[in-house]
Amino acid sequence: MARAFIFVLDSFGIGGAADADRYGDAGSNTFGHIAEACAAGKADVAALRAGPLQLPNMMALGLGEAAKVASGFSLEGQPGSKLSASSFHGAAQEVSSGKDTPSGHWEIAALPVRFDWGYFPDTVPTFPQSLTDAMVRQGNVPGILANCHASGIEVIENFGEEHIRTGKPICYTSVDSVLQIAAHETHFGLERLYEFCAVVRRLCDPLNIGRVIARPFVGETKATFTRTPNRRDYAVPPPQPTLLDRLTGRGSRVIAIGKIGDIFAHRGISEIRKGVGNMAMFDKALGAIDDARDGELVFANFVDFDTEFGHRRDVAGYAAALEAFDRRIPEALARLKPGDLFLLTADHGNDPTWHGTDHTRERIPVIGMVPGMAGGAIGLRPTFADIGETVAEHLGLPPGPHGASFYKALGGAVNKHA
């Protein structure tokens, strides 16, 4: 039995979603628009990056081919366009309702979200008065600040000093099914923030809100506020077993890197490893590859693409982060054993050239390598769940109710490398 590794480049969509117009995202393309901005010199920043987008290792795994399948976008002549042996490439369309983090990850883990999440209206105030009253009363706080749709950095800058003066937590949302709560780690207290978020999580359950997120920060003034790595997500647990549940139920270990544990409400998770920033997370992922045994899954999320660059509409920063990630891919490939499944994908888009600051509805890349197998094109998959079912078959699990494995298309057979 072999091992499997799923690396999620959070928000790295490749355009072309068939239902993008339903979400106001027709024409969005995170990868394509970043590449076009780089080629036009619009993402050149001194000491950061310059020139065309350089992703030779992802291109060698088939990123260019995946983009063509998803949206017709082409990067002819990119370094690494010659495909690596045993690599595979394709794209996938999301069937889950919404374009949020839990839906994307759950569907990757072979559980599409067929129900509609609850959302807060884009009004001021945005939260129902009954919810606000209960938060204040049961959370034992003097009130809340913001109570609107906002991006995380701006809302802290706008309300952080008042928060320190008054002790009122900063509460805000977005187009996602989420209620985020920012508070100062020392003035308010980190543990108190976690306790408050747990209260709000219970209050949000009847509203079917997907996540309540603790967003701690430090600093004393608008100019010095910075978020810390002590974020914590309080997520609704998946309503049915995911790939992770199926693996741990069999006795196989699932090692979660980054916020994967939070996304799945810590269900189906054997071990959690975290780091600050994509590069530290990559180090943790490499360590997990080294530690993984036969039949085990390493599931990693690289959140900086989304939180640091997509939501902030930072094209140059996103491009530089992609190039830094790409340079490290050979370190992961060098650790693979014959028959291992290594897969790069995303959970949604977040086109930094798009209007607003929210996720974009896009198809995702499905690229990677299985050393010792044929690899090749897997086409456009009708659901992200095909990823989870492919991993399931690769690791010797029986088929689940959602999705279809493309494992045999790679020349694989269950337990071939046992």
pLDDT digits (tens, 9 = 90+) for 198-239: 999 999 999 999 899 999 999 999 999 998 988 888 988 999
| Cβ pair 112, 86 in contact under 8 A | no
Convert the pLDDT of each residue in 12-46 to its tens digit.
Answer: 999 999 999 999 999 999 999 999 999 999 999 88
Mean pLDDT across the stretch 63-91? 86
Asked whether 10 and 294 are in contact (CB, 8 A), the reply is no
Report the pLDDT value the prediction gives residue 77, as an integer from 0 to 100.
58
**What distance in Å separates the CA atoms of residue 306 and residue 312, rounded to the nearest whole number?**
8
Phi (first) and psi of residue 27, to 5 degrees: 100, -10
Biggest alpha carbon–alpha carbon distance for the chain: 63
**In angstroms, rounded to a whole number, what is the distance separating the alpha carbons of residues 65 and 312?**
28
Q: How far apart are CA 298 and CA 271, in angstroms?
A: 10
Q: Which residue has the higher pLDDT, 374 or 319?
A: 319
The pLDDT score that the predictor gives to residue 329 is 98
Single out the residue of 256, 259, 232 nearest to residue 244, CA to CA.
256
413 pLDDT above the threshold of 60:
no
pLDDT at 58: 96
243-250 and 385-394 helices cross at what angle (nearest 10)? Answer: 20
- Whether 341 and 370 have beta carbons less than 8 Å apart is answered as yes
